[in-house]
Amino acid sequence: MLADLEALVRCESFSADHAAVARSAEVVGALGRRLLGAGPETIVIDGATHLRWTFGTPRVLLLGHHDTVWPMGSLQHHPWSVADGIARGPGVLDMKAGLVQMFHALASLPSPDGVCVLVNGDEEVGSATSRELIEESARGRVAAFVLEAAADAGGALKTARKGTSRYDVVVRGRAAHAGQEPQKGVNAAVEAAHQVLSIAGIGASMGAVGGAHPVLGLPTVTPTLLSAGSTRNTVPALARVSVDVRVPTPAAQDRVDELIRGLTARTPGARLEVLGGSQRPPMEPESSAELFALASRLAAELGQEPLRGLAVGGASDGNHTAAVGCPTLDGLGAVGAGAHADTEYVEVARMVPRARLLAQLITRTRTRTR
């Protein structure tokens, strides 16, 4: 498993570099071919490379991704290493170790029959090209097991996730010379400042109208990136505010969308344009409850420590599988911490037990009927 993990980590797969993702797909495909005895269906959509294996009539979906957030060349300052039971390297936790565990778990069974494996290549940038493929692969299945990393360093599974939306609020003003005739301009930067405050207040307004969820909490609406202007001596004619939204329910997602699209300009002459929208629907606790109970029983049978479940703010492709009615359990991948950071690591000793748990989950669910 460590040799396979090293091969995946050493093949960098930055989401924005489609050629790198294609090379990674070849490495992942070869791993699956060796362990499962069959090559994948390779699906390229708008440059992103996805892989799918289908064995018999699938009842269970195993879901992962092979792209990472790490720019090309990250291995130079964040090299692959294993020391004192800790594996490090770009993407080792999110989620190349999860892929290794997935393939080895499935290979440990007498047959992969009844299982569909989907590994997409654009999860870290929102799964725009793979969403329909994920939904298609999940419809009608009795279970989807998502090999994203555990929810914390203790190994908790992810039993609920907030949904995500992303927006860009574009402000259009009018340029003018900042020294000679600023009064002839319409300052897009000033208008953007008004919009930042309005956007920041939307989350609080959701709480006032009952937008809280007992497990996932309140929606969060966060202005993030902000840009304006072209030169130091010109009244800005253009500004842009990026907005990150996390929501606990579909109703909250719809309400936030309505409020953001209802933003109005405060500065005379300024105009607003709202781009973007919902990305992933929420994965509510009900979608994972039965599978988490089964996983807890299986962990006990295997002599493993009791499982814990956590609701998290981050989204994954498990949000899509849950949204189409497929029972979904997430966070079954590697145990470690530091995803997306130089501190990213995996506990090597936890890889085999997690793979054994997944193997038992596949065995117990693939003969079920909906």
- Domain end, chosen from 250, 278, 306, is at 278
> Does the pLDDT value for residue 49 go beyond 80?
yes
Cβ(15)–Cβ(68) under 8 Å? yes
Q: Residue 369: pLDDT band by 50, 70, 90 thresholds?
A: low
Helix 289-301 / helix 351-365 crossing angle, nearest 10 deg: 120
For 196-224, write each residue's pLDDT tens digit.
999 999 987 876 555 567 788 889 999 99
> Does the pLDDT value for residue 9 go beyond 80?
yes
Whether residues 16 and 132 share a domain: the answer is yes
Of 291, 303, 284, give the one whose Cα is nearest residue 365. Answer: 291
> Does the pLDDT value for residue 58 go beyond 70?
yes
Mean pLDDT of the chain: 96
Whether residues 184 and 319 share a domain: the answer is no
The domain of 202 spans 165-278
Please check whether residue 141 lies inside any domain of the structure.
Answer: yes
Provide CB contacts within 8 A for 140, sequence distance 6+.
326, 370
- The CATH number of the domain where 82 resides is what? 3.40.630.10
Q: Residue 370: pLDDT band by 50, 70, 90 thresholds?
A: low
Whether residues 267 and 351 share a domain: the answer is no
H or E element in which residue 168 lies: strand 163-172
- Domain end, chosen from 228, 258, 278, is at 278
Cα 117 from Cα 119, distance rounded (Å): 7
pLDDT, residue 213, reads 78
For 239-295, write each residue's pLDDT tens digit.
999 999 999 989 889 999 999 999 999 999 999 999 999 999 999 999 999 999 999
For 127-157, write each residue's pLDDT tens digit.
999 999 999 999 999 999 999 999 999 999 9
Whether residues 192 and 91 share a domain: the answer is no
Number of domains comprising the chain: 2
Please check whether residue 370 lies inside any domain of the structure.
Answer: no
